[in-house]
Structure 1
Amino acid sequence: MNLRSVDLNLLVVLDALLDEAHVSRAGERVGLSQPAMSSALERCRHLFSDRLLERGGGGMVLTPKAQALAGPIKEVLAGMAALLDRAEPDLHAIRQTVRVVMADLPAVAIGAALQRRLARTAPGITVAVMPWHGAAAALEGLGRGGVDLAVSVFPSVDSDFTRRELLQERYRVAMRRDHPAAAAFDLDRWLAYPHVLVSGRGDTRGPLDEALTRIGRTRHVGMVVPSFVMVPPLLTESDMIGLLPSRCLPERVRGEIVAFEPPIAVEGFPLHCAWHKRRAGDPAVQHVARLIEELVAALPA
């Protein structure tokens, strides 16, 4: 094919169409009217000899060829952007949204500081924090291009991704300062009171329960909640006890809550920041990644 006969702007249009699967929304994203977007779709269909988008399931769906094209098109656009941005970027001139998958914590812990830092260094960057549904879903979002950065625990990633360790987290047992178990805390007192468990799936057992079973002990889970943010208020207003990552205790309640080392060994975990290699040359994404790394590392343990 003679590239001189190809309008490369169509790749930008097609990238939006494949992401949105909706002509009007894709048009809003790239600044084209609905008729202009429909015309561009027809040109893309001719270029790739495929329908690309078809009606089905109450909306538009991608054809198999369109699904296969989605990733390579993002790679080409990322390469073009990297080629054009070889000069040192002017962060103050950037107008871009960076989409970050992150659990409620550390999002709550660093959110305000991240916005303040961006206001000084890159005021045109908007960070969109997207809900965390597990490491696998986060990597899928990075691979598909709907996510720019992900903060999670990633035991391993393949060569298409970059992963950086932000910190090593450890668990602490937390309860209100005047809790009956706080005076002489030990294993028996820990297990004598109901526990609050954090699980996005509503699980009533976790790795701690397996460890307790191995030593012939059990605990009573009094409540399961989907978010670490919900735990501190529950602890200060009840006899429940929580097992939390140490950095999940916000400053505003640290005076009301005491924390102890677990009476049995509880393995901690590393927290990572990851992105797809196509975002390696994106100055906005990399700037946000650097700020997240600095702010998470500075969280008090």
Structure 2
Amino acid sequence: MNLRGVDLNLLVILDALLEEAHVSRAAHRLNLSQPAVSSALQRCRALFNDPLLERDGSGMRRTARAEALRGPLRHVLGDVGGLIDPPEIPLKEIVRTIHIVSADDPMLIIAPHLVARLGRTAPGVSLVIQPWRGAAAALQSLATGHADLAISVFPPDEGLNVVTLFEETYVVAMRSDHPAAIAFDLDAWLAWPHVIVSGRGEGHTPIDDALHRMGRARRIGAVVPSFQLVPPILATSDCIALLPRHAFKGAHEASLTHRSPPFEVPGFSLELAWHTRRATDRIVRHVADEIRNIAFEETNAHAASG
């Protein structure tokens, strides 16, 4: 048989006809006209070369072929329905690996809570935290599918879904007994070597451009790839670092102190992004929602603590 000539809708009508054994009731059930269902019955009779429904007094009865068709037909239609509109698998039964590009700073806040929450809501999900090498690299990872989610500062991009996690400001961090902490100003800040965090090893930042416009410059003591390396360096040296406030909050606060920057340093929005092609991916959406909830709770806790 040439299946290209079989109308799937015809099988749906046949299923109702065999269930009801009555043209009018089948038409009512399908919200179709009686003539349309009668016509479909004639086409089914030709397709199966069998009367299917025969007159029996004032009603109709199924033929032996019709009785034999009922179970297989219901099974086939169920399989097709599951193919087109598959049942939703419970989150706890899904096994997936989700790749997240992020600097270590936000992950220090997010990762412990995220792993714990996924252990309760989606225990089959494993996380792979990939190193952050700048916004451009994060965008590329999302575009190529090497990452499912990324946390960074993103330029406008129509291919991304982006939500804000934190509104960040900067502080200048140093060891608690640092000489610059006594009378902190621009001269004191520039008198000491600076630590810069860069996933690509770059020692020049927009801060240096701003200083250049002021006719000033700073000396770089170290460029490191991770925020986690900054606190121990500051605690054991004369170095100073400009850090996002959340990064300082998670640092060795007992051994460090901080001051406001000596000139205006714009803050930034730390964002979570995923590619638009993942918009209907339940697990990506679930992990993204958990990250957003963690960030929201962290922001509220930070505000409550003053």
Question: Given the two structures, how large is their TM-score scaled by the length of structure 1?
Answer: 0.68
The superposition leaves residues 28-59 of structure 1 with CA deviations (integer Å, 9 ceiling, x where unpaired) of: xxxxxxxxxxxxxxxxxxxxxxxxxxxxxxxx
For 1:141-160, what aligned pairs fall within 5 Å after superposition? 141-158=141-158, 160=159
2:99–2:148 Cα contact (<8 Å) kept: yes
Query: Match for residue 128 of structure 1?
Result: 128
1:265 aligned partner, one-letter code: E
Relative to structure 1, the CA distance from residue 83 to residue 221 in structure 2 (aligned partners, 3 Å threshold; closer, same or farther) is farther
| 1:154 positional shift | 0.5
Relative to structure 1, the CA distance from residue 194 to residue 90 in structure 2 (aligned partners, 3 Å threshold; closer, same or farther) is same
Relative to structure 1, the CA distance from residue 235 to residue 112 in structure 2 (aligned partners, 3 Å threshold; closer, same or farther) is same
2:231–2:251 Cα contact (<8 Å) kept: no
2:112 aligned partner, one-letter code: A
| 1:287 positional shift | 0.9
C-alpha root-mean-square deviation of aligned residues, in Å?
2.4
Asked whether 1:265 is paired with 2:264, we answer: yes
For 1:235-254, what aligned pairs fall within 5 Å after superposition? 235-251=234-250, 253-254=252-253
Query: Match for residue 91 of structure 1?
Result: 91
2:190 aligned partner, one-letter code: L
Identity, % of aligned positions: 48
| 1:126 positional shift | 0.9
Deviating runs (4+, > 6 A) in structure 1?
A: none
Query: Match for residue 107 of structure 1?
Result: 107
2:179 aligned partner, one-letter code: P
For 1:1-301, what aligned pairs fall within 5 Å after superposition? 84=85, 87=88, 90-158=90-158, 160-251=159-250, 253-297=252-296, 298=298, 300=302
For 1:137 and 1:111, the matched residues in 2 are separated by 21
2:169–2:266 Cα contact (<8 Å) kept: yes
Relative to structure 1, the CA distance from residue 132 to residue 86 in structure 2 (aligned partners, 3 Å threshold; closer, same or farther) is farther
For 1:125 and 1:251, the matched residues in 2 are separated by 26
Name stretches of at least 5 consecutive residues in structure 1 with no aligned partner: 5-80
| 1:204 positional shift | 2.5
SS at the partner of 1:113?
helix
| 1:205 positional shift | 2.2
Relative to structure 1, the CA distance from residue 125 to residue 82 in structure 2 (aligned partners, 3 Å threshold; closer, same or farther) is farther
The superposition leaves residues 182-220 of structure 1 with CA deviations (integer Å, 9 ceiling, x where unpaired) of: 122111111111111122333332211111122222211
Larger Rg: 2
Name stretches of at least 5 consecutive residues in structure 2 with no aligned partner: 5-81
